[in-house]
Structure 1
Amino acid sequence: MGIDHRLSLIVHAGAGWVLWVLIGLSIVAVAIILERAISLMASRDDVRTMKEDLLAYLSNGDPAGAIERLETSSSVEARVLIAGLGCAEKGAAAAEERMASTSQLAKLSMEKNLSFLATVGSNAPFLGLLGTVIGIIRAFQPLDAAHGQVSSRLMAEVGEALLATALGLLVALPAVAFYNFFQRIIGSRLARADALGREVLAYMKAER
């Protein structure tokens, strides 16, 4: 089967299949957005209160109490601090490496499936444009059959072609917006975890 024949089959199929692909991508994107939103909301905590409690335990020389307090939280910040305090006896350098490792693993966990949103956001408009191109090419057939006169079939083909571009944009915009929103949340949490981790390192160095 030659390339010309394959292209003719794609054009003959029309832009309808492009619309269904975009609808499928939008459904998957919405599912990922909801899953990530629920996951990030479930793992948030009052970082200011956590910091006050942490400093209170450390100032009293009670790292075990600090760990018990942190274990009541499901936040990323708490997991990073627990990793550092858990190896306090090995020194500040070991604790710093352990917290850095935990922070990277937490970042990968929070970014789960976000690459799909980025891919949809960057490629959905081009997929919609492909549907528009196919629809316009198909529109030439009824235009030729009607000897250049506008017909209802021609308008239907053009309308479907333009709908593909619009749908591609509608799918891409929320995907990009939520991708950036989630990345901002993840970055903020990792930055807070790093700041609290430095409090732990300062305590360890002072104890040494």
Structure 2
Amino acid sequence: MDHSANFTIAGIWASTGPFARGVIFSLAIMSIASLVVMAERIIVFRKTRKDSRNFAAKMGAILAKGDLQQAANTNMGKDVGHLGRVIGSGLTAYRISPSDKEVAVESVARALERQAQREVQSLKRGLGILATVGSTAPFVGLLGTTMGIVTAFQLMAASGAGGLGTISAGIAEALITTAFGLLVAIPAVMAYNFLSGWVDARSVDISESSNEFLDVVARHLGGSHTPQA
């Protein structure tokens, strides 16, 4: 019997059993899910970064003058990015804050912190899928390999033939699931690390911008505080 014919992709696929094919289909679904998350997050990240930069350029000029009333009354539209939503929540809190300086500053600080947490969580949406795929795909492939090797040895025992040549095609079939699992996991892990680093960097940006805005509020309230309800 010529076992070499089984070492083509078509030959290996034709010889795979239902369990191995189920593992491969599962890995294919995991791969598609991770690719969808990658594409969606990249699109969202690019848009929110662009919108945040536009917001910072426009609002920064107003806040540089220390004119919080104008800043609070300026309508920047809906596309303000993660930074615009955080600062916007601070401006809303400033408008409705009481006349007491310490209470007003604390109210603005809490509003900034709450919105910052929401934005970071929003940016992390879908990253759990990448982490799950990256951590489980190799084990799913290994499961297929383990069961494939067991099947190969069972066939060898049933046929009564010995030697590596007898089960080489079966082992190749089994190992292909591990290779596929690694091909799915490696891009998912790389994407997760890259996107997580991006979110961490934006979290630092949000924190710095929130502190700068809070300093502007504190200086403004140190003079005259005339928020409008």
Flag whether TM exceeds 0.5 (same fold): yes
Aligned to 2:41: 36
Q: 1:172 to 1:137 in 2, by over 3 A?
A: same
Mapped to 2, the partners of 1:79 and 1:46 lie a distance apart of 10
Aligned to 1:7: none
What 5-or-longer segments of structure 2 have no aligned partner?
Answer: 1-16, 98-103, 222-229
Question: Residue 136 of structure 1 contacts residue 161 of structure 1 at CA under 8 Å; is this kept in 2?
Answer: yes
Aligned to 1:148: 162
2:90 is equivalent to residue 84 of structure 1: yes
What 5-or-longer segments of structure 1 have no aligned partner?
Answer: 1-11
Task: Give the secondary-structure state (helix, strand or coil) at the position aligned to 2:50.
Answer: coil
Q: 1:181 to 1:65 in 2, by over 3 A?
A: farther
Aligned to 1:74: 80
Mapped to 1, the partners of 2:141 and 2:168 lie a distance apart of 18
Mapped to 2, the partners of 1:73 and 1:192 lie a distance apart of 18
Question: Residue 55 of structure 2 contacts residue 80 of structure 2 at CA under 8 Å; is this kept in 1?
Answer: no
2:61 is equivalent to residue 56 of structure 1: yes
Aligned to 1:22: 27
1:96 to 109, 125, 131: 109
Aligned to 1:202: 215
Q: 1:172 to 1:161 in 2, by over 3 A?
A: same
Mapped to 2, the partners of 1:47 and 1:114 lie a distance apart of 21
Question: Residue 85 of structure 1 contacts residue 200 of structure 1 at CA under 8 Å; is this kept in 2?
Answer: no
Please list the CA deviations of residues 17-48 of structure 1 after superposition, one character each: whole Å capped at 9, or x if unmatched: 11111111111111111111111111113767
Question: Residue 132 of structure 1 contacts residue 162 of structure 1 at CA under 8 Å; is this kept in 2?
Answer: yes
Please list the CA deviations of residues 103-153 of structure 1 after superposition, one character each: whole Å capped at 9, or x if unmatched: 11112211112111111111111111111101110111332215104457x
Task: Give the secondary-structure state (helix, strand or coil) at the position aligned to 1:112.
Answer: coil
RMSD: 2.3
Question: Residue 135 of structure 1 contacts residue 160 of structure 1 at CA under 8 Å; is this kept in 2?
Answer: yes
Question: Residue 55 of structure 2 contacts residue 81 of structure 2 at CA under 8 Å; is this kept in 1?
Answer: no
Aligned to 2:127: 114
Mapped to 2, the partners of 1:14 and 1:146 lie a distance apart of 24
Mapped to 2, the partners of 1:69 and 1:184 lie a distance apart of 32
Count matched residues: 196
Mapped to 1, the partners of 2:58 and 2:82 lie a distance apart of 16
Mapped to 2, the partners of 1:17 and 1:56 lie a distance apart of 59
2:167 is equivalent to residue 160 of structure 1: no
Deviation at 1:200, TM superposition (A): 1.2
Amino acid at match of 1:44: R
- TM (normalized to structure 2)? 0.76
Question: Residue 59 of structure 2 contacts residue 71 of structure 2 at CA under 8 Å; is this kept in 1?
Answer: yes
Range with bigger deviation, 179-188 or 40-49: 40-49
Q: Which has the larger radius of gyration?
A: 2
Question: Residue 53 of structure 1 contacts residue 66 of structure 1 at CA under 8 Å; is this kept in 2?
Answer: no
Mapped to 2, the partners of 1:44 and 1:133 lie a distance apart of 45
Question: Residue 143 of structure 1 contacts residue 151 of structure 1 at CA under 8 Å; is this kept in 2?
Answer: no
1:130 to 131, 143, 146: 143
Q: 1:176 to 1:16 in 2, by over 3 A?
A: same
